[in-house]
Amino acid sequence: MRFTPQVLIFGARCHVHLLSGTCFQQLILVCVCVCVCVCVCVSPQVIWDIIGNKQFCSFKVKTKSQNFCRNEFNLTGLCNRSACPLANSQYATIREEKGQCFLYMKVIERAAFPAKMWEKVKLSKNYEKALEQIDENLIYWPRFIRHKCKQRFTKITQYLIRMRKLVLKRQRKLVPLSRKVERREKRKEEKALIAAQLDNAIEKELLERLKQGTYGDIYNFPVHAFDKALEQQDEESESESEAEEEEEEDDEDVGRREFVAEDEVEESDLSDFEESSEEEEEEEEEMEVETKAKAKAKAKASGSKGKSPAGGSAARRKRAYVEIEYEQETQPAAKSTAT
């Protein structure tokens, strides 16, 4: 091991009494560790001797084939004698901050002032101009450092260009899923499925479409459906008209609860009792007229709703026709008296 005379003297002067009995190497190490930041007299060669191969360097990353340097000021990223920023008193790097490139330079004159050790020069955005700037700042510097600086700068500009291009292309966005939320939604979905009763809903919808006739004449059995629908409607209208008749009778004459069918019987009776029955006839006929009108109106209304097709309305009219038959017997009389 070659020791520079300064170190020896320093060690001999200051530390002998502290480290009496320890070996010489440890003494030197302590000196170097204490002095490397403060004392200018430690040469880079010594530093490299220590951290390069023999002792610990906190920036060194060792792999099977190669050593890397994690120091942010390192020019190449490898752990070499020529590329180590600690072991070279004159050093330069290119670093990039938010898309802007800077040239950092370190000279031996400023080694005593760690705060001002690195000189930062902003490089122009133009590639050629920046290269010229590097050249002009690093004029008379070792070839290796100049070359490596330019290489590093080129690489940096290339990756900046690629970053800008990528932003314009597709960007994949990762959306985090919350487990709780997913579990809750799954449960809600299950419950909704049960509540939906899909099969029933679909069947109901299809049957409704069949009833409404969207399928046209494809299926044969709809006739029965229409007949059934007819019958249902007849029953409904019958009950409706009866209810209305009852209401009318209640409104007009409390005593009168006579239905159309019964009038025949009374008409025959009326022929016996002419005087008193005439009034009754009139009123009855009025009622009949009104009820007939109502029935007709209802038939028309139901016909116009279009619920029952043409066949249905024919049956409707058939029914009304039956009523008219009765009334026609007495109508000539009614016309003369009622109006």
Least separation in angstroms between CB 187 and another protein:
12
Q: CB nearer to another protein: give 12 or 193.
A: 193
Tokens 């939320």, residue located: 181
Sheet holding 118-122, edge to edge: 91-97, 100-106, 118-122
Site residues, another protein (CB under 8 A): 169-170, 173, 181, 185-186, 188-189, 191-193, 195-196, 198-199, 201-203, 205-207, 209-211, 215-216, 218-219, 221-222, 224-225, 228
Both tokens of residue 290?
Answer: 């009104």
CA atoms of 269 and 274, how far apart (whole Å): 9
Both tokens of residue 254?
Answer: 């409390």
Least separation in angstroms between CB 162 and another protein:
17
Q: CB nearer to another protein: give 58 or 220.
A: 220
Q: CB nearer to another protein: give 140 or 221.
A: 221
Tokens 């050629």, residue located: 128
Tokens 């579990």, residue located: 183
Q: CB nearer to another protein: give 1 or 174.
A: 174
Tokens 């509540």, residue located: 195
Q: CB nearer to another protein: give 72 or 203.
A: 203
95 φ, ψ (degrees, to nearest 5): -130, 155
DSSP structure class, residue 109? G
Least separation in angstroms between CB 153 and another protein:
32
Least separation in angstroms between CB 313 and another protein:
20
Q: CB nearer to another protein: give 112 or 196.
A: 196
Q: Which amino acid is at 274?
A: E
- Alpha-helical (H) ranges within 253-309 are 260-272, 274-305
Least separation in angstroms between CB 227 and another protein:
10
- Work out the angle between the directed axes of helices 127-137 and 143-168 (0-180°, nearest 10): 160
Q: CB nearer to another protein: give 125 or 186.
A: 186
Tokens 């080129």, residue located: 154
Of 91, 129, 107, which Cα lies nearest the Cα of 40?
Answer: 107
Of 34, 19, 22, 82, which Cα lies nearest the Cα of 7?
Answer: 34
Q: CB nearer to another protein: give 23 or 168.
A: 168
Residues facing 97 on adjacent strands = 100
CA atoms of 25 and 27, how far apart (whole Å): 5
Q: How many CB atoms lie within 10 A of CB 6?
A: 16
Type and span of the H or E element at 67: strand 67-69
Listed in sequence order, the residues at least 6 apart from 51 whose beta carbon sits closer than 8 Å to its beta carbon are 57, 60, 84, 86, 87
Both tokens of residue 131?
Answer: 């290269």
Q: CB nearer to another protein: give 2 or 169.
A: 169
